[in-house]
Amino acid sequence: MKKLRQRADNALLKLIHSRSGDQMTGWLIVVLLVVVTGAVFLVLYQDSVKEIWTGIINKAKTVFGI
């Protein structure tokens, strides 16, 4: 697993730092990966995020007397 991660990192670095190719393509791939990772995280942990957010809001209401 660690070797696979290292190979993926090296491939990504080569793509981003490539002088011969379109560097914008590399950045678009990075942005796409970040967006997809964020979406997966939100889908998998949606209930936990809601619970934590509700706790924060309730605590703020209690502290400020709202």
Residue with tokens 């809001």: 57
- Rounded (10°) angle between helices 2-17 and 23-44: 140
14: domain range?
Answer: 2-64
Q: Do residues 60 and 66 lie in contact, with contact meaning Cβ atoms separated by under 8 Å? A: yes
User: What is the tally of structural domains in the chain?
Assistant: 1
**C-alpha 16: how far from its chain's center?**
18
**Residue, of 58 and 18, whose pLDDT is higher:** 58
Q: Do residues 10 and 16 lie in contact, with contact meaning Cβ atoms separated by under 8 Å? A: no
pTM of the prediction?
0.46
Q: Band of the pLDDT at 34, cuts 50, 70, 90?
A: very high
Closest CA to 30 of 44, 19, 20, 15: 15
